[in-house]
């Protein structure tokens, strides 16, 4: 292992896992070691590559994997009801009748009512949009920002690397509640953007470290050295040779992190700094319901169940993709 420091490019959960909502996944290290041994087609040219590429292998694998199929269907369903919640819920989630507060299931209201007398079923359906949006967009943001910065640090090394690594250290040191109270208490917007922005801000170092690690590993592969010897430009090497081989761990960790971001939104709401009313989300409902669990467990059961199933679906998807991308497990 010439001049390589595997210990430095692999790190733990850090800030985001702080509140215990779910840790930053830290599969970086085993991804890293896995990738080293990944043959990855000699001219791995990304998704549109030739038949025997890493990607087509993985895809062939996935199509036959029941875990992948089930989790994809669940996610597809979630995406559909996020876009058109009225398909399966015909009431308004903000229509509340206090006289029915905490009442259980009754005709037309299969899941009962919450503490404000709102319909739990409708709120659970409408909550999907917010929660899935927070999860997906935060993950995209984190992956882009973290992936690019981490990748650059890994590719250029030296000064870039030192600065970036120290910045990530700084961010890992910030307790999530402090960050949440500071960044989220000053905003008044009731949209999901502040929460997404906050997650991206505290989440990117995690992906950055993983991206950095896998770029360093990929950089040392013979074919990259060969390309460099042949005089390939930096950008060509990055885009054609390194990125396709280094992106897998990022994708995998990101799908897992997605689930934890959704439950992080719940924790932020529990602490009173999550989404602002009149937003409807699982996090808001779970945190409100957790206080009433003795009298009206149904209030907690449904949104928490929906959250658990969603997180589960994304983690299982990530798991399936991960396995498919690891040729040794075939």
Partner 1 sequence: MGRYVIRRLLQMIPVFFGTTLLIFLMVNVMGDPIAGLCGDRQCDPATAAQLRTEFGLDKPVWQQYLTYMGNIFTGDFGTAFNGQKVTELMATAFPITIRLTIVAIVFEIVIGISLGVVTGLRRGRPVDTVVLILTLVVIAVPTFVTGLLLQLLLGVEWGIIKPSVSSEAPVDELIVPGLVLASVSLAYVTRLTRTSIAENARADYVRTAVAKGLPRRRVVVRHLLRNSLIPVVTFIGTDVGALMGGAIVTERIFNIHGVGYQLYQGILRQNSQTVVGFVTVLVLVFLAANLIVDLLYAVLDPRIRYA
Partner 2 sequence: MRGATQARWAACAVAVALTATACGGGDSGGGGGADGIVSSSWGDPQNPLEPANTNEVQGGKVLDMVFRGLVRYDPKTGEAKNEIAEKIDSKDSQNFTVTIKDNWTFSNGEKITAKSFVDAWNYGALLKNNQKNAYFFQYIDGYDQVHPESGSATADTLSGLKVVNDTTFTVKLSQKFSLWPDTLGYAAFVPLPKVFYTDHEAWLSKPVGNGPYTIDQYAKGSSMNLRRWDDYPGADKAQNGGIDLKVYTDNNTAYTDLTAGNLDLVDDVPASQLKNVKADLGDRYINTPAGIIQTLAFPFYEKAWDTPGAVKVRQGLSMAINREQITDQIFQKTRTPASDWTSPVLGEEGGFKKGLCGSACEYDKAQAKKLIQEGGGIPGGQLKISYNADTGSHKEWVDAVCNSINNVMGNNKACVGGPVGTFADFRSQVSTQKLTGAWRAGWQMDYPLIQNFLQPLYYTNAPSNDGKWSDKKFDDLVDKANAESDKATAVSTFQDAEKVLVEQMPVIPLWYQNGSAGYSDRVENVSLNPFSVPVYDQIKVK
Interacting residues with partner 2 (CB under 8 A): 92, 94-99, 101-102, 115-117, 180-181, 184-185, 188, 190, 272-273, 276-278, 288, 291-292, 294-295
Q: Which of 141, 180 has the CB closer to partner 2?
A: 180
With CA atoms as reference, report the closest residue to 192 among 127, 253, 110: 127
In the list partner 2, partner 1, none, the entry touching 170 (Cβ below 5 to 8 angstroms by class) is partner 1
Q: Which of 18, 93 has the CB closer to partner 1?
A: 18
User: CA 147 to CA 155: how far, in whole Å?
Assistant: 12
With CA atoms as reference, report the closest residue to 180 among 304, 290, 16, 11: 16
Residue with tokens 């299982």: 316
Identified binder of partner 1 from the candidate list 195, 253, 307, 321, rule CB under 8 A? 307
In the list partner 2, partner 1, none, the entry touching 29 (Cβ below 5 to 8 angstroms by class) is partner 1
Over the range 41-66, which residues count as b (16 or more CB within 10 Å of their CB) and which as e? beebeeeeeeeebbbebbeebbeebe
CB 167 within 8 A of CB 205: yes
In the list partner 2, partner 1, none, the entry touching 328 (Cβ below 5 to 8 angstroms by class) is partner 1
Q: Which of 86, 190 has the CB closer to partner 2?
A: 190
Instruction: Give the largest Cα separation in the chain, rounded.
Output: 76
User: CA 71 to CA 272: how far, in whole Å?
Assistant: 31
Identified binder of partner 1 from the candidate list 82, 217, 267, 281, rule CB under 8 A? 267
Identified binder of partner 1 from the candidate list 46, 145, 308, 327, rule CB under 8 A? 308
CB 203 within 8 A of CB 24: yes
The reply on whether position 10 binds partner 1 by CB under 8 A is yes
Q: At its nearest, how many Å lie between partner 1 and the CB of residue 260?
A: 7
User: CA 288 to CA 278: how far, in whole Å?
Assistant: 14
Report how far Cα 47 is from the mean position of its chain's Cα atoms: 21
User: CA 186 to CA 106: how far, in whole Å?
Assistant: 41
The reply on whether position 190 binds partner 1 by CB under 8 A is no
Q: Which of 132, 275 has the CB closer to partner 2?
A: 275
CB 27 within 8 A of CB 49: no
Identified binder of partner 1 from the candidate list 224, 275, 300, 325, rule CB under 8 A? 300
User: CA 127 to CA 23: how far, in whole Å?
Assistant: 23
The reply on whether position 315 binds partner 1 by CB under 8 A is yes
In the list partner 1, partner 2, none, the entry touching 145 (Cβ below 5 to 8 angstroms by class) is none
In the complex, the residues that contact partner 1 under the rule CB under 8 A are 1, 3, 5-8, 10-15, 17-23, 25-27, 29-30, 33-34, 162, 166-167, 169-170, 172-179, 181-182, 185-186, 259-260, 263, 266-267, 270-271, 286-287, 290, 293-294, 300, 304, 307-312, 315-316, 328-329
């Amino acid at each position: 292992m010439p001049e390589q420091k595997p210990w430095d490019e692999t790190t733990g959960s850090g800030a985001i896992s702080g509140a215990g909502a779910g840790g930053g996944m830290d599969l970086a290290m085993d991804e890293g070691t896995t990738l080293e041994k990944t043959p990855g087609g000699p001219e791995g040219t990304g998704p549109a590559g030739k038949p025997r590429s890493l990607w087509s292998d993985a895809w062939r694998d996935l199509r036959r994997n029941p875990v992948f199929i089930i989790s994809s269907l669940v996610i597809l369903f979630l995406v559909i009801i996020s876009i058109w919640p009225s398909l399966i819920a015909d009431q308004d989630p903000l229509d509340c009748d206090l006289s029915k507060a905490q009442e259980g299931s009754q005709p037309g209201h299969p899941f009962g009512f919450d503490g404000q007398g709102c319909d739990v079923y409708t709120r659970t359906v409408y909550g999907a949009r917010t929660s899935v949006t927070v999860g997906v967009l935060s993950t995209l943001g984190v992956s882009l920002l973290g992936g690019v910065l981490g990748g650059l640090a890994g590719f250029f090394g030296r000064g870039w690397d030192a600065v970036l690594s120290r910045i990530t250290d700084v961010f890992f040191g910030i307790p999530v509640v402090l960050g949440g109270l500071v960044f989220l208490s000053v905003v008044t917007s009731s949209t999901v953007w502040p929460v997404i922005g906050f997650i991206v801000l505290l989440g990117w170092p995690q992906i950055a470290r993983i991206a950095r690690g896998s770029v360093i590993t990929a950089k040392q592969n013979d074919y990259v050295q060969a390309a460099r010897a042949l005089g390939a430009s930096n950008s060509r090497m990055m885009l054609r040779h390194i990125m396709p081989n280094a992106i897998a761990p990022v994708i995998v960790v990101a799908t897992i992190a997605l689930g934890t971001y959704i439950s992080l939104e719940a924790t932020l709401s529990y602490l009173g700094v999550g989404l602002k009313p009149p937003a409807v989300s699982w996090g808001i409902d779970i945190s409100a319901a957790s206080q009433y669990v003795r009298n009206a467990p149904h209030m907690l059961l449904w949104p928490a169940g929906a959250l658990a199933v969603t997180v589960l679906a994304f983690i299982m998807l990530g798991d399936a993709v991960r396995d498919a991308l690891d040729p040794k497990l075939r």
